[in-house]
Each structure stands twice: as C-alpha cells, then as structure tokens.
Amino acid sequence: MSLQNEPLTPAEGYAETAYRFDAIPEQSYAPQNEMLHGRILETRLPWGSYLGVNPTTYQYSDLWFREYQYIGDDYNDYTMINESRWSKRVDENVNDFYRINRFLFILFTHGFSFIRGGGWFVFGIISVCTLLFIFAADTLLQAFTPLLIATAVCGIATILRQLWEKHELKFYNSNRNWSNDYAFCRRTGMVKTFRGIFPFYEFDAYIEMTVGTQGSQFHSLKLIHRYPHRSPDSFSKRPLEFSFTVDGSIAQRYAAWDMLQRYMDVSQPLPDVPELEPFRHLDPTTKAYDEAGKRGRPATYWRDLYANSSEEELKALREAHRSEVDSTIWGGRPDLMELSVPNYRETRKGEPEDVNDFGRFPWKAGKFVDRPETTPSADSTDQQLNDEPPR
C-alpha cells in the first residue's frame, strides 16, 4: 500500500537548486568516460520510479539506538545523515599519532578477538601444531606453552575489544564530526566535494563488480559523476565518485539508490528510517507529510521500537525486511534521466533480466534486456512511496 499517490508541494525552506524528480533541467550530452574502461560496471540503476523500499542496513540499523541514546541532544551533528545532509566523510579532531595507535589497537583487538575476530582461527592453528609436536617437547609445559600464550593474547584482545565497543562512543562524541563539506545536501540539491559543488542529477548510480584473488565476486554501489571534465583530479585522474556501503544482495543496492534519491528529492518526505526520525520535524516537506497523517506511525515509532524490543525481536524484523527487499521487483522500470540527457539511453540502456537473481547465480550474469523507454506521462504518475509500517 502506498502512503502517497502524488508528490507533495514543498514548503519554503529549500534552495531554488533543490532536486525534484519532475524538474530536472535539460543537460548536455553524456561524454564517453575513458577512465571507466576496464571497470566492470555491470548495470546503471534508473532515475525515478521510486518504490519506497529502504535497504535493511538503514531500515534496521544495528548501532543506531545505542548511538542515539548516548549522544542525545548533539545527535544531529554526530550522525552520518540528518535532515539537511548525507555526509560521506568524517572530520576528526585528533592528531596523526593518535590515528596510528588507534589503527594498531583496532587491528589487534579485532584481528585476535574470540568474538567476531580471528581468535578461534589462531587458537585452532596453534592447537593443531601443539598436537603434532607434543611428543617432540621435553615436557608438557614446554609443549603447551605456545597454546597458552596464544590463548592469553586472544583473551586480552577479546577483553579489549569488549571495552572498546562499550566505550567507543565517548571518543565518537568528543572527537568525531560528520563533514558538511563532503556530502549530499537535500536542501540545496547539490553534492559538495573537494573538487567543487555539483548538482545531484549529474551523478549516475552503477553496480560495480570486482573479482577477488580466488575468483569470488563482490558488488558495490557507486555514484559516478557523468561529466568528468567538470570535476577533474590532477593527481589520480579518476572520475569523481562515491561508494555506498550496503550489506546483502544486489537488491539491497537498488534499495539504497532508491532511498538516496528520495532523500534528495524535496517533493518527497525523508525516508522513514531510524536515523532520520529525530529530524523529521525539521524538514518542511516531511513535517507537512507527517502532520497530514500520511506517515501512519507515531512521531517516536523507531525510538520506541528499539527501546522496547529485544535483540531477538529486532533480528527477526531485520530478516523479514531483508526478505522483503530481496523479493521486490526492481527491474523493468523506465529511467527518468532519459528525458533530460539527449544520449542517455544510448550510453547504457540495458539491465539484468532478473535483478533479484543477478550476481547470485553466475550463469545469469550475461542476460541483459533493454530498459523500457521513458515518457513524461509515465514518470509523472510513477513516483509513489512504500514506506509501509512493518506487519
């Protein structure tokens, strides 16, 4: 069930450059980007035609509530995403010596911990070696000394990791800031970077595949600037791009792109995810949407859910949502940007025949079909949301 049948008219509070799906200006031809050759950009995701489904990473965050409780009133400044910007860089008020020591500390505690680390692997290797060479030692103490040392080292790493995970927010609150200078800015419709400020609609979303040393495949969501000659980098020569970390399937990456577009589109309310709930009243479109009763949830829905649910209950909700994202039909939608960029369809018009199975089954990787052509009338009625309360 959709909570919205047509885009809202945003109230005052946005710049004239703010992004709206129905007001993308005409742009120049998309040039051939030579720096993209050799990269496996398997598909370009479509603009518009929102499905209103958020990625599970954001819909049910593992860390959100703990950070929100600890940081309190300063949460707006210390969270990656708020009502005005989705930051892509952390500014930390620490020196290089501290950074190096913190890196070494994390490397040790996370690499040798028995909890979600390599502790059991190290313990297993030393145990096997102990059994193989036990009779070569003069005494049992001498034989088991390496195992005792490994156990002590991994045990210390485990304790330190637990202390770090319990108290890391003290560092987060005092030294860490999400940058406003390297971010996707909702109120202006611009993307701020160290190479300049560019309109959001000049970036295209791709699923990129990389191959590991043993043939394993990894997929990531990349946003790449369509006009690299306007955003040159004299050192790397690489195009301006952003990576978005999303756990799970290819469908999760489609959901992340859907969420980012709705976040930037001021004709739409903010995506209904926990990290954005404390700021919904600060965004004009979202405030009007909620006051009209279209959200269908209490103002503190996510806060109350996390406060009153056990980890097992949240895990069940998380897995149910993951199944929902994976079963959503992401393919077969037109691409709105074809109406604004003259040669956009010619540059890449295909998509996987089955988006949900793409990347999951290697033998389907080569099956692509043409994306449906875009018409103004089709897209004007296709921007609907599905931020439906979980059943």
| Structure confidence by residue, pLDDT tens digits, 2-38 | 344 455 655 578 999 999 999 999 999 988 776 676 6
Q: What is the DSSP string of 61-102?
A: -SSHHHHHHHHGGGHHHHSSB-SSEEE--EEE---HHHHHHH
| Average per-residue pLDDT for the chain | 83
Same domain? For 342 and 200 the reply is yes
CA distance linking residue 270 with residue 22, whole number of Å: 17
Same domain? For 75 and 107 the reply is no
Same domain? For 167 and 197 the reply is no
Q: Is 60 exceeded by the pLDDT of residue 366?
A: no
Q: Is 50 exceeded by the pLDDT of residue 380?
A: no
The DSSP H or E segment spanning 173 is: helix 140-175
Same domain? For 324 and 187 the reply is yes
CA distance linking residue 188 with residue 195, whole number of Å: 17
Same domain? For 282 and 342 the reply is yes
Q: Which two tokens stand for residue 333?
A: 């939608």
Count of domains forming the chain: 2
The domain in which residue 262 lies consists of: 34-90+182-204+249-352
The predicted structure's pLDDT at residue 238: 79
In a domain, 359, yes or no: no
Same domain? For 39 and 104 the reply is no
In a domain, 64, yes or no: yes
The predicted structure's pLDDT at residue 296: 92
Same domain? For 200 and 305 the reply is yes
182 Cβ contact list (under 8 Å, min separation 6): 87, 88, 89, 192, 193, 194
Q: Is 60 exceeded by the pLDDT of residue 389?
A: no
The predicted structure's pLDDT at residue 390: 42
In a domain, 14, yes or no: no
Contact 375, 357 (CB under 8 A): no
Three-state SS for 169? helix
Same domain? For 337 and 196 the reply is yes
Three-state SS for 199? strand
In a domain, 75, yes or no: yes
**Lowest-confidence segment of 45-59, 77-91, 297-311 by average pLDDT:** 77-91
Rg (CA), the chain: 24
Question: Residue 317: pLDDT band by 50, 70, 90 thresholds?
Answer: very high
Same domain? For 195 and 285 the reply is yes
In a domain, 309, yes or no: yes
**Mean pLDDT, to the nearest integer, of 54-58?**
95
In a domain, 318, yes or no: yes
Same domain? For 276 and 161 the reply is no
| DSSP character at residue 214 | T
Same domain? For 317 and 268 the reply is yes
Tens-place pLDDT, residues 216-240: 677 889 999 999 888 877 777 778 8
The predicted structure's pLDDT at residue 94: 67
Q: Is 90 exceeded by the pLDDT of residue 146?
A: no
∠ CA 265-239-15, rounded to 5°: 25
Same domain? For 65 and 134 the reply is no
∠ CA 166-167-170, rounded to 5°: 145
In a domain, 347, yes or no: yes
In a domain, 220, yes or no: no
